[in-house]
């Protein structure tokens, strides 16, 4: 696999590809990338995350919608990395969430894995299936649609 379409994306490459920054960057690295077909995004949830929801006498929990955002960011890295650098759009837009299910929350100490697979992609529109897992346990899932404004530099 060549460097642009496969393998691993570390935090430096993620930040080069995506406009998101702390505290809204929901992935720490992306592994197991295969062209624009499949990837696994990794997010280590820590106790000091500013987005954790705190309930009295309960362990803080990561909001489910941010897990879906982590899936979308993983897909964004996968899509943008599959496009030659000279042709990459500056923006990528998260446009749909379908078949969303939240099964359990992520808590500090969890390593979230966002498993994403392409359903279809035509030019500037793509649809992907994502699953958020902690270990082997499925905690959230969704189908996500993205739009890339190609040719609008």
Catalytic residue IDs: 54
Q: Spell out the residues 6+ positions from residue 24 whose beta carbon is closer than 8 angstroms to its own.
A: 69
Report in angstroms the alpha-carbon separations of 73 from 5, 37, 51, 59, 105: 16, 15, 17, 26, 19
Bridge partners (DSSP) listed for residue 131 = 115, 141
Q: Give Cα 56 distance to the centre of its chain.
A: 30
């Amino acid at each position: 696999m060549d460097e642009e379409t496969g393998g691993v994306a570390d935090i430096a490459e993620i930040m080069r590809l995506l406009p998101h920054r702390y505290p809204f960057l929901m992935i720490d690295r992306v592994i197991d990338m295969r062209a624009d077909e499949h990837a696994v995004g990794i997010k280590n949830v820590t106790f000091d995350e500013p987005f954790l929801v705190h309930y009295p006498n309960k362990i803080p929990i990561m909001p489910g919608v941010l897990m879906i955002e982590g899936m979308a960011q993983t897909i964004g890295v996968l899509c943008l990395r599959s496009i030659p650098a000279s042709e990459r759009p500056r923006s990528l837009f998260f446009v749909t969430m379908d078949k969303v299910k939240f099964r359990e929350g992520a808590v500090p100490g969890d390593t979230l894995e966002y498993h994403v697979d392409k359903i279809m992609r035509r030019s500037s529109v793509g649809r992907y299936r994502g699953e958020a897992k902690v270990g082997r346990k499925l905690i959230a899932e969704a189908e996500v649609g993205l739009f890339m404004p190609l040719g609008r530099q």
